[in-house]
Amino acid sequence: MKPRVLFRTHYQVDEPTYIGLLVKRCTSPVQSAYREVVAERLAVEIRARGKPFNVAAGGYAVDLARGLEVLTDQHVWSDRGHVVGLLAGVGEDDWEQELALTLPEKLLHFWLFLEADGAALLFLARRLVDSGRLGDSESSWNTVAREMFVSIFSDYLAITSTTTERVKLRTDIDRLKTKAYEGKSGAHKAFVHLQTLHRLGLVNRSSAATTRVYEWDVDGTTTGLMALLSAVPDVPTLETVIKNRSWVRVAAQVFGILEDQSTTDKLEEEGVGSLFANYYKRVSETSVPLVSLSTLMTAAQIHLLSGEPPILASYEDLLDMMEILRTAAPKDIRFHVDRRGQPAFVKLSNSICEALAGRDLRSRG
Protein backbone atom coordinates (compact mmCIF):
# COMPACT_ATOMS: atom_id res chain seq x y z
CA MET A 1 0.00 0.00 0.00
CA LYS A 2 1.60 3.25 -1.14
CA PRO A 3 1.51 6.06 1.46
CA ARG A 4 -0.60 8.96 0.28
CA VAL A 5 2.04 11.65 0.47
CA LEU A 6 3.78 13.63 -2.26
CA PHE A 7 7.47 13.11 -1.64
CA ARG A 8 9.27 14.71 -4.59
CA THR A 9 8.37 18.36 -4.09
CA HIS A 10 10.07 21.77 -4.06
CA TYR A 11 9.42 24.91 -2.06
CA GLN A 12 9.22 27.02 -5.25
CA VAL A 13 6.64 24.69 -6.80
CA ASP A 14 3.81 24.71 -4.31
CA GLU A 15 0.74 26.15 -6.01
CA PRO A 16 -2.23 24.11 -7.27
CA THR A 17 -2.38 26.46 -10.26
CA TYR A 18 0.69 24.77 -11.73
CA ILE A 19 -1.37 21.66 -12.41
CA GLY A 20 -3.89 23.41 -14.63
CA LEU A 21 -1.14 25.12 -16.60
CA LEU A 22 0.78 21.87 -17.05
CA VAL A 23 -2.25 20.02 -18.31
CA LYS A 24 -3.92 22.64 -20.47
CA ARG A 25 -0.91 24.49 -21.86
CA CYS A 26 2.14 22.23 -21.63
CA THR A 27 1.05 18.64 -22.32
CA SER A 28 -1.21 16.66 -24.63
CA PRO A 29 -4.05 14.18 -24.11
CA VAL A 30 -2.43 11.79 -26.59
CA GLN A 31 1.11 12.85 -27.49
CA SER A 32 4.02 12.02 -25.18
CA ALA A 33 6.82 14.46 -24.37
CA TYR A 34 10.13 14.52 -22.54
CA ARG A 35 10.14 15.86 -18.99
CA GLU A 36 12.57 18.63 -19.96
CA VAL A 37 10.32 19.76 -22.81
CA VAL A 38 7.28 20.00 -20.54
CA ALA A 39 9.32 21.85 -17.90
CA GLU A 40 10.49 24.38 -20.49
CA ARG A 41 6.94 24.97 -21.72
CA LEU A 42 5.78 25.59 -18.16
CA ALA A 43 8.63 28.03 -17.49
CA VAL A 44 7.65 30.00 -20.59
CA GLU A 45 3.99 30.11 -19.52
CA ILE A 46 4.78 31.31 -16.00
CA ARG A 47 7.36 33.91 -17.06
CA ALA A 48 4.77 35.28 -19.49
CA ARG A 49 2.60 36.00 -16.44
CA GLY A 50 5.28 38.06 -14.74
CA LYS A 51 6.84 35.51 -12.38
CA PRO A 52 10.50 34.47 -12.53
CA PHE A 53 10.67 30.73 -13.08
CA ASN A 54 13.39 28.40 -14.37
CA VAL A 55 13.34 25.06 -16.12
CA ALA A 56 14.76 23.20 -13.11
CA ALA A 57 11.76 24.29 -11.01
CA GLY A 58 9.54 23.28 -13.92
CA GLY A 59 10.90 19.75 -13.62
CA TYR A 60 9.69 19.57 -10.03
CA ALA A 61 6.27 20.77 -11.18
CA VAL A 62 6.17 17.91 -13.71
CA ASP A 63 7.05 15.50 -10.90
CA LEU A 64 4.23 16.99 -8.82
CA ALA A 65 1.76 16.39 -11.66
CA ARG A 66 2.93 12.80 -11.96
CA GLY A 67 2.64 12.37 -8.20
CA LEU A 68 -0.95 13.60 -8.41
CA GLU A 69 -1.43 11.14 -11.29
CA VAL A 70 -2.76 13.75 -13.69
CA LEU A 71 0.09 12.89 -16.08
CA THR A 72 1.36 9.44 -17.03
CA ASP A 73 5.02 8.46 -17.07
CA GLN A 74 5.03 9.56 -20.72
CA HIS A 75 3.62 12.99 -19.68
CA VAL A 76 0.29 12.36 -21.37
CA TRP A 77 -3.02 13.20 -19.69
CA SER A 78 -4.37 10.44 -17.45
CA ASP A 79 -8.06 10.00 -16.64
CA ARG A 80 -7.47 12.48 -13.80
CA GLY A 81 -5.72 14.80 -16.20
CA HIS A 82 -8.86 14.91 -18.31
CA VAL A 83 -10.84 16.06 -15.25
CA VAL A 84 -8.31 18.88 -14.86
CA GLY A 85 -8.74 19.64 -18.56
CA LEU A 86 -12.49 19.90 -18.12
CA LEU A 87 -12.58 22.01 -14.96
CA ALA A 88 -9.37 23.98 -14.41
CA GLY A 89 -9.44 27.56 -15.58
CA VAL A 90 -6.33 29.01 -17.23
CA GLY A 91 -6.23 32.70 -18.09
CA GLU A 92 -3.65 35.18 -19.24
CA ASP A 93 -3.68 37.29 -16.08
CA ASP A 94 -0.84 38.39 -13.83
CA TRP A 95 0.53 35.44 -11.86
CA GLU A 96 -0.95 36.56 -8.54
CA GLN A 97 -4.41 36.73 -10.10
CA GLU A 98 -3.98 33.25 -11.58
CA LEU A 99 -3.38 31.75 -8.13
CA ALA A 100 -6.92 32.29 -6.80
CA LEU A 101 -9.18 29.23 -7.13
CA THR A 102 -12.90 29.17 -7.90
CA LEU A 103 -15.11 26.78 -5.93
CA PRO A 104 -15.04 24.12 -8.70
CA GLU A 105 -11.25 24.41 -8.79
CA LYS A 106 -11.06 24.09 -5.01
CA LEU A 107 -13.12 20.91 -5.17
CA LEU A 108 -10.98 19.64 -8.04
CA HIS A 109 -7.74 20.13 -6.12
CA PHE A 110 -9.22 18.85 -2.88
CA TRP A 111 -10.03 15.60 -4.69
CA LEU A 112 -6.60 15.36 -6.32
CA PHE A 113 -4.63 16.10 -3.17
CA LEU A 114 -6.80 14.02 -0.83
CA GLU A 115 -6.23 10.93 -2.95
CA ALA A 116 -2.51 11.50 -3.62
CA ASP A 117 -1.43 13.47 -0.55
CA GLY A 118 -4.18 12.92 2.02
CA ALA A 119 -1.92 11.51 4.73
CA ALA A 120 0.26 14.65 4.62
CA LEU A 121 -2.79 16.93 4.72
CA LEU A 122 -4.13 15.11 7.79
CA PHE A 123 -0.80 15.24 9.64
CA LEU A 124 -0.36 18.96 9.01
CA ALA A 125 -4.00 19.68 9.85
CA ARG A 126 -3.57 17.99 13.23
CA ARG A 127 -0.35 19.92 13.92
CA LEU A 128 -2.01 23.22 13.06
CA VAL A 129 -5.04 22.52 15.23
CA ASP A 130 -2.78 21.51 18.13
CA SER A 131 -0.28 24.38 17.89
CA GLY A 132 -2.12 27.09 15.95
CA ARG A 133 0.82 27.81 13.63
CA LEU A 134 3.73 26.27 11.73
CA GLY A 135 6.88 27.99 10.52
CA ASP A 136 9.23 30.72 11.78
CA SER A 137 12.55 29.14 10.73
CA GLU A 138 14.30 26.68 8.42
CA SER A 139 15.09 24.42 11.35
CA SER A 140 11.43 24.21 12.33
CA TRP A 141 10.48 23.14 8.80
CA ASN A 142 13.16 20.46 8.86
CA THR A 143 11.74 19.13 12.12
CA VAL A 144 8.15 19.23 10.88
CA ALA A 145 9.04 17.44 7.63
CA ARG A 146 10.91 14.63 9.34
CA GLU A 147 8.16 14.12 11.92
CA MET A 148 5.55 14.14 9.15
CA PHE A 149 7.18 11.36 7.13
CA VAL A 150 7.98 9.25 10.19
CA SER A 151 4.36 9.55 11.34
CA ILE A 152 2.89 8.78 7.92
CA PHE A 153 5.15 5.81 7.24
CA SER A 154 4.41 4.46 10.74
CA ASP A 155 0.66 4.80 10.12
CA TYR A 156 0.96 2.81 6.89
CA LEU A 157 3.22 0.23 8.50
CA ALA A 158 0.38 -0.49 10.95
CA ILE A 159 -2.08 -1.31 8.16
CA THR A 160 0.22 -2.85 5.52
CA SER A 161 0.48 -6.63 5.33
CA THR A 162 2.79 -7.12 2.33
CA THR A 163 6.28 -8.11 3.47
CA THR A 164 8.10 -6.13 0.79
CA GLU A 165 6.19 -2.96 1.60
CA ARG A 166 6.66 -3.41 5.34
CA VAL A 167 10.43 -3.79 4.91
CA LYS A 168 10.58 -0.64 2.80
CA LEU A 169 8.52 1.35 5.30
CA ARG A 170 10.70 0.22 8.21
CA THR A 171 13.82 1.15 6.24
CA ASP A 172 12.43 4.61 5.46
CA ILE A 173 11.44 5.17 9.09
CA ASP A 174 14.88 4.16 10.38
CA ARG A 175 16.61 6.37 7.83
CA LEU A 176 14.50 9.41 8.77
CA LYS A 177 15.05 8.86 12.48
CA THR A 178 18.83 8.75 12.13
CA LYS A 179 19.37 11.49 9.53
CA ALA A 180 17.80 14.92 9.92
CA TYR A 181 16.79 17.23 7.09
CA GLU A 182 19.10 20.21 6.63
CA GLY A 183 18.99 23.62 4.94
CA LYS A 184 15.87 24.11 2.83
CA SER A 185 15.06 20.38 2.64
CA GLY A 186 12.23 20.66 5.16
CA ALA A 187 10.69 23.58 3.29
CA HIS A 188 10.93 21.57 0.06
CA LYS A 189 8.96 18.78 1.70
CA ALA A 190 6.38 20.84 3.64
CA PHE A 191 5.29 23.83 1.58
CA VAL A 192 3.32 22.14 -1.21
CA HIS A 193 0.91 20.52 1.26
CA LEU A 194 0.43 23.64 3.38
CA GLN A 195 0.12 26.02 0.45
CA THR A 196 -2.56 23.77 -0.99
CA LEU A 197 -4.47 23.92 2.31
CA HIS A 198 -4.08 27.70 2.16
CA ARG A 199 -5.42 27.97 -1.41
CA LEU A 200 -8.33 25.75 -0.43
CA GLY A 201 -9.17 28.31 2.27
CA LEU A 202 -8.47 25.98 5.18
CA VAL A 203 -5.43 27.74 6.72
CA ASN A 204 -4.04 31.26 6.72
CA ARG A 205 -0.58 32.29 5.58
CA SER A 206 1.45 35.21 6.85
CA SER A 207 5.00 36.38 6.23
CA ALA A 208 7.74 36.29 8.84
CA ALA A 209 11.18 37.86 8.55
CA THR A 210 12.87 34.83 7.03
CA THR A 211 10.24 32.23 6.24
CA ARG A 212 6.55 31.55 5.81
CA VAL A 213 4.12 31.04 8.66
CA TYR A 214 0.89 29.08 8.34
CA GLU A 215 -1.80 29.66 10.97
CA TRP A 216 -5.11 28.18 11.97
CA ASP A 217 -7.66 30.33 13.75
CA VAL A 218 -10.50 28.45 15.41
CA ASP A 219 -12.58 31.61 15.63
CA GLY A 220 -11.94 32.67 12.07
CA THR A 221 -12.92 31.37 8.66
CA THR A 222 -10.76 28.26 8.71
CA THR A 223 -13.15 25.90 10.48
CA GLY A 224 -13.00 23.58 7.47
CA LEU A 225 -9.81 22.12 8.92
CA MET A 226 -11.75 20.74 11.88
CA ALA A 227 -14.37 19.37 9.50
CA LEU A 228 -11.63 17.56 7.59
CA LEU A 229 -10.25 15.97 10.75
CA SER A 230 -13.72 15.05 11.91
CA ALA A 231 -14.60 13.36 8.61
CA VAL A 232 -11.17 11.77 8.11
CA PRO A 233 -9.50 11.41 11.53
CA ASP A 234 -6.76 8.94 10.54
CA VAL A 235 -5.08 7.03 7.74
CA PRO A 236 -7.35 3.94 7.91
CA THR A 237 -10.38 6.21 7.48
CA LEU A 238 -8.63 7.98 4.60
CA GLU A 239 -8.11 4.67 2.85
CA THR A 240 -11.78 3.76 3.37
CA VAL A 241 -12.95 7.11 2.00
CA ILE A 242 -10.87 6.66 -1.14
CA LYS A 243 -11.81 3.01 -1.61
CA ASN A 244 -15.51 3.89 -1.32
CA ARG A 245 -15.18 6.94 -3.61
CA SER A 246 -16.78 9.07 -0.89
CA TRP A 247 -14.45 12.06 -1.20
CA VAL A 248 -17.31 14.28 -2.37
CA ARG A 249 -19.19 13.83 0.91
CA VAL A 250 -16.04 14.82 2.80
CA ALA A 251 -15.60 17.83 0.53
CA ALA A 252 -19.14 19.01 1.25
CA GLN A 253 -18.36 18.99 4.97
CA VAL A 254 -14.96 20.65 4.60
CA PHE A 255 -16.24 23.51 2.46
CA GLY A 256 -19.45 23.93 4.45
CA ILE A 257 -21.71 23.24 1.49
CA LEU A 258 -25.31 22.67 2.54
CA GLU A 259 -26.08 20.21 -0.19
CA ASP A 260 -29.26 18.46 -1.26
CA GLN A 261 -29.01 14.68 -1.47
CA SER A 262 -29.24 13.46 -5.02
CA THR A 263 -31.98 11.23 -6.35
CA THR A 264 -32.63 9.94 -9.84
CA ASP A 265 -35.42 12.48 -10.31
CA LYS A 266 -33.24 15.33 -9.07
CA LEU A 267 -30.37 14.33 -11.35
CA GLU A 268 -32.77 14.20 -14.28
CA GLU A 269 -34.05 17.65 -13.36
CA GLU A 270 -30.50 18.97 -13.29
CA GLY A 271 -29.91 17.72 -16.84
CA VAL A 272 -27.17 15.27 -15.92
CA GLY A 273 -27.61 13.45 -19.22
CA SER A 274 -26.78 16.70 -21.00
CA LEU A 275 -23.83 17.19 -18.68
CA PHE A 276 -22.52 13.72 -19.51
CA ALA A 277 -22.87 14.42 -23.23
CA ASN A 278 -21.08 17.75 -22.95
CA TYR A 279 -18.15 16.31 -21.01
CA TYR A 280 -18.03 13.22 -23.20
CA LYS A 281 -17.83 15.32 -26.35
CA ARG A 282 -15.05 17.49 -24.95
CA VAL A 283 -12.97 14.48 -23.88
CA SER A 284 -13.58 12.50 -27.07
CA GLU A 285 -12.50 15.51 -29.14
CA THR A 286 -9.00 15.09 -27.67
CA SER A 287 -8.73 11.89 -29.76
CA VAL A 288 -8.63 9.42 -26.87
CA PRO A 289 -10.01 6.04 -28.03
CA LEU A 290 -12.31 5.57 -25.03
CA VAL A 291 -13.66 8.00 -22.44
CA SER A 292 -13.19 7.03 -18.80
CA LEU A 293 -16.33 6.75 -16.70
CA SER A 294 -14.28 7.99 -13.75
CA THR A 295 -13.47 11.19 -15.65
CA LEU A 296 -17.13 11.86 -16.44
CA MET A 297 -18.41 10.96 -12.95
CA THR A 298 -15.83 13.03 -11.06
CA ALA A 299 -16.26 16.08 -13.27
CA ALA A 300 -20.04 15.80 -12.85
CA GLN A 301 -19.73 15.48 -9.07
CA ILE A 302 -17.69 18.67 -8.89
CA HIS A 303 -20.04 20.52 -11.25
CA LEU A 304 -23.10 19.54 -9.23
CA LEU A 305 -21.62 20.23 -5.80
CA SER A 306 -20.38 23.67 -6.83
CA GLY A 307 -23.69 24.68 -8.39
CA GLU A 308 -26.68 26.57 -7.04
CA PRO A 309 -28.33 24.82 -5.39
CA PRO A 310 -25.51 22.35 -4.65
CA ILE A 311 -26.23 18.68 -5.24
CA LEU A 312 -24.23 15.92 -3.57
CA ALA A 313 -24.09 13.06 -6.05
CA SER A 314 -22.16 9.93 -5.20
CA TYR A 315 -20.24 8.01 -7.83
CA GLU A 316 -22.87 5.27 -7.61
CA ASP A 317 -25.70 7.81 -8.10
CA LEU A 318 -24.17 9.02 -11.34
CA LEU A 319 -23.26 5.55 -12.55
CA ASP A 320 -26.88 4.51 -11.95
CA MET A 321 -27.99 7.52 -13.98
CA MET A 322 -25.70 6.50 -16.82
CA GLU A 323 -27.11 2.96 -16.61
CA ILE A 324 -30.65 4.31 -16.91
CA LEU A 325 -29.64 6.20 -20.04
CA ARG A 326 -27.87 3.12 -21.42
CA THR A 327 -30.91 0.92 -20.81
CA ALA A 328 -33.03 3.36 -22.81
CA ALA A 329 -30.54 3.45 -25.69
CA PRO A 330 -28.35 0.30 -25.54
CA LYS A 331 -27.06 0.67 -29.10
CA ASP A 332 -25.95 4.25 -28.53
CA ILE A 333 -24.37 3.94 -25.07
CA ARG A 334 -21.92 1.09 -24.56
CA PHE A 335 -19.79 0.27 -21.55
CA HIS A 336 -16.31 -1.23 -21.72
CA VAL A 337 -15.17 -3.13 -18.65
CA ASP A 338 -11.80 -3.32 -16.92
CA ARG A 339 -9.90 -6.51 -16.04
CA ARG A 340 -12.18 -7.03 -13.03
CA GLY A 341 -15.26 -6.92 -15.22
CA GLN A 342 -16.40 -3.53 -13.88
CA PRO A 343 -17.59 -0.71 -16.18
CA ALA A 344 -14.61 1.58 -16.72
CA PHE A 345 -15.11 3.30 -20.07
CA VAL A 346 -18.09 4.46 -22.10
CA LYS A 347 -18.75 5.00 -25.78
CA LEU A 348 -21.56 7.33 -26.86
CA SER A 349 -22.84 7.60 -30.42
CA ASN A 350 -23.05 10.98 -32.11
CA SER A 351 -26.83 10.73 -32.21
CA ILE A 352 -27.21 10.13 -28.47
CA CYS A 353 -24.79 12.97 -27.72
CA GLU A 354 -26.91 15.30 -29.82
CA ALA A 355 -30.12 14.03 -28.22
CA LEU A 356 -28.80 14.42 -24.68
CA ALA A 357 -27.16 17.76 -25.37
CA GLY A 358 -30.48 19.03 -26.65
CA ARG A 359 -32.06 18.65 -23.24
CA ASP A 360 -32.22 21.73 -21.09
CA LEU A 361 -29.12 21.98 -18.87
CA ARG A 362 -29.59 24.65 -16.25
CA SER A 363 -26.73 26.99 -15.56
CA ARG A 364 -25.20 26.15 -12.23
CA GLY A 365 -22.97 29.11 -11.52
Tens digit of each residue's pLDDT, the chain (365 residues) = 899 999 888 878 999 999 999 999 999 999 999 999 999 999 999 999 989 999 999 999 999 999 999 999 999 999 999 999 999 998 887 888 889 999 999 999 999 999 999 999 999 999 999 988 898 776 788 999 999 999 999 999 999 999 999 999 999 999 999 988 888 888 889 999 999 999 999 999 886 556 788 988 766 556 899 999 999 999 999 999 999 999 999 999 999 997 666 666 667 766 889 999 999 999 999 999 899 999 999 999 999 999 888 899 999 999 999 999 999 999 999 999 888 888 899 999 999 998 888 654 333 33
Which domain covers residue 128, as residue numbers? 113-256
Last residue of a domain, one of 100, 134, 153: 100
Residues 245 and 330 in one domain: no
CA-to-CA separations, 17 to 42, 56, 261, in angstroms, rounded:
11, 18, 30
Could you tell me if residue 11 is inside a domain? Answer: no
Does some domain include residue 319? yes
Residue 12: inside a domain, yes or no? no
Check residue 84 and give its pLDDT. Answer: 98
What is the pTM (predicted TM-score) of this model? 0.93
**pLDDT at position 362, please?**
37
Instruction: Tell me the per-residue pLDDT of 230-276, one tens digit each, with 9 for 90 and over.
Output: 999 999 999 999 999 999 999 999 999 976 666 666 677 668 899 99
* Whether residues 180 and 216 fall in one domain: yes
Measured CA to CA, the distance from residue 347 to residue 193 in angstroms comes to 37
Three-state SS sequence of 56-106: HHHHHHHHHHHHCCCECCCCEECHHHHHHHHHCCCCCCCHHHHCCCCHHHH
Q: Are residue 183 and residue 228 in the same domain, yes or no?
A: yes
Q: Would residue 296 count as lying in a domain? A: yes
Task: Among 234, 256, 278, identify where a domain stops.
Answer: 256
- Whether residues 245 and 118 share a domain: the answer is yes
244 and 275, same domain (yes or no): no
Across the chain, mean pLDDT equals 90
Q: How far apart are the first and last CA of the chain?
A: 39
Nearest to 70 by CA among 49, 87, 90, 45: 87
pLDDT given for residue 264 in this prediction: 61
Q: Which of 38, 70, 100 is the last residue of a domain?
A: 100
pLDDT digits (tens, 9 = 90+) for 160-194: 999 999 999 999 999 999 988 888 888 889 999 99
Is the domain of 128 the same as that of 195?
A: yes
